[in-house]
A and B are shown apart, each in its own frame.
Chain A
Amino acid sequence: MRILHLAFAYLASRPLLTALNVAMLALGVATISFLLVVTHQAEERLTRDARSVDLVVGAKGSPLQLILSTVFHADVPTGNIGLEESRPIAANPMVASATPVALGDSFHGHRIVGTDGSFLALYDARLAQGRMFAAEMEAIVGADVARREGLAVGAKLTGAHGLAASGPAHGDHPYQVVGILAPTGTVADRLVITSVESVWHVHAEHAPARPEITALLLRYRTPLAAAMLPRAINATTAMQAASPAYESARLLDLVGVGVETLQWFAIALMASAALSLFVALTSALQERRYDLALLRTLGARPGALAALTLAEGVTLLLAGVILGFALGHGAAHALGWWLAEAASWPVTGLAWAPGEAMLAAAVLAIGALTCLVPAWQAYFSDPASLLARR
């Protein structure tokens, strides 16, 4: 019987206490791990989706709403802007490219985006099959849309009015799929992309006198544009200019308050778990002080007794950390499934977040320190006096 086996035997001899200690620690680790995974992937996703868009010009309203609706395709637009009013902005010498976006319809929850060929460049998207749309009512679909809806080149799809899946169908205006995009890992995977004219065509009956688009996605030609263009647009036009980078940071700050609160809660949970581990080990040591004395009489070195106590604590710690990561990543994966059902942002529990290595190291280090006190007591226990007291 080796020290580790004996440590396991001691743990197995009090299964409820062992399970409670592991569960407490695992809950704390799982909460922090889940938050790290989800926030890291959300941040990564926000950055990736917005990396090629320097400025969004759209209707006045909430700038965050404008960015969410036109860059991340996760909210309703603030309204429309006139195509003619947007042309001078697109022609501004400080603008390298201006991509129109016309929203309004969706297909089974996937947004139909009216735009032009420059849209694909924003997401480094390329066609995996077929060709780019050329005529009205031709569309290309993102990789996720094709997979989930079983679409192939040549298929027809009918949009529904509005951005929710339950809107009335435009049955008399079907789109023909002429191309399918390769996966990009961006929001483009979940979009149906067509020309602005197609979107106007579908809504021809209710079209305003002058053509409108939802927004213009700009790329700067020069860094100076960041200082001048937004201010000029906001001050001199009826439109608003919003920066995806700024609004994403603001969104993360807003969400970050909640995340931070949850993280502190999880840290408190882990601190209680560490305390509980300390109490469990100390009381276990007290209960089996005669076992330790006996082991000494059999020839065990003081270091072996300390190792036995440490092995018990470290086993609990490792079990708690491993179970915690499994739970945290499992929860993130379950959230990913749920979000995938809702055709929203993909989250996976199969990827690690950068902070998790630090989390594991911190928990193991603090836990090991917690175990050191009982191990020290075991090391210096005097078998003769213990046996004499019995």
Chain B
Amino acid sequence: MLEIRGLRHDYAGRTVLSVPSWDVAKGDASLVLGPSGSGKTTLLNAIAGLATPTAGSIRVAGTEVTGLAPAARDAFRARHVGLVLQTLHLIGVVSVRENLRLAQRLAGSPVDDARIDEVLASLGIAGLGGARAGNISVGEAQRVAIARAVVNRPSLILADEPTSALDDANCAKALALLLDQAAACGATLLVATHDNRIRGRFERRLEL
């Protein structure tokens, strides 16, 4: 599913990320571990096609991401990659449902409210569709961010520090939701974190 070969990213004259070789199988859940500044976010951005690495190859579901033109990279990301950002950022001026519809539209899919309802229900926030995204709690935003990442049934879910701002109880819940949703849509899950609390939940890890 994911093949990385000879990946290197330089910034301001120094190498900030180096991954000689890494493979992740379809449906696997893997952890990318490392202290702050070790290049975890850069790796996720490179896999998602948001950043262009200095050297190396990244293949996602058989597609060489680094070789895609910018427009094709954006389209590929929209269709195949679900992102859960550390900040859980939502478009606050519209409803939760509109946030999810936006993700569907940008992926080039027709709006599918039934799928949105299904995802919201599976995350325990069925009644939240009409709420303005800027007015919901952090815990609810966490679930909506996960819903947005999985609503298009991506083949790869990338989560950047999804639990670092949560207490132990919420950390466990969020991680369980993420793993369940990834499994439900058969997606490969990569979680980048420096949060040692979740280390034990993953068999496969990449240490940076």
Contact = CB atoms under 8 A, between A and B. Distances in A.
Nearest to A290: B89
Output the residue of B83, B93, B98, B105 with the most chain A CB within 10 A. Answer: B93
A377 B27 CA distance: 39
A210 interface: no
A297 B47 CA distance: 12
Contact of A1 (B42, B48, B74, B94): B94
Contacts of A296: 50, 74
Output the residue of A1, A6, A301, A390 with the most chain B CB within 10 A. Answer: A1
A387 B78 contact: no
A290 to B, nearest CB: 5
Contacts of A295: 91, 102, 106
A384 B86 contact: no
Nearest to A13: B93
Contacts of A383: 50
A2 B105 contact: yes
A121 interface: no
Given A296-B50, A301-B74, A384-B45, A6 B83 contact: no
Contact of B91 (A2, A12, A291, A384): A291
Given A6-B102, A13-B93, A387-B41, A299 B87 contact: no
Interface in B3-57: 41-42, 45, 48, 50-51
A294 interface: yes
Contacts of B105: 1-2
Interface in A3-22: 6, 9-10, 12-13
Interface in B79-93: 79, 83, 85-87, 89-93
A298 B76 CA distance: 10
A388 interface: yes
B87 to A, nearest CB: 5
Given A290-B89, A294-B91, A300 B74 contact: yes
Contacts of B94: 1, 6, 9
A296 B74 CA distance: 8
Contacts of A291: 89, 91-92
B50 A384 contact: yes
Output the residue of A2, A301, A387 with the most chain B CB within 10 A. Answer: A387
Given A6-B102, A299-B107, A383-B50, A390 B79 contact: no
Contacts of A293: 89
19 contacts: A9-B94, A9-B98, A13-B92, A13-B93, A290-B89, A291-B91, A294-B85, A294-B91, A295-B102, A298-B77, A299-B75, A299-B78, A299-B79, A301-B71, A384-B42, A384-B50, A387-B87, A388-B42, A390-B87
6 A-B pairs with least C-beta separation: A299-B78, A13-B93, A299-B106, A384-B51, A384-B45, A384-B50
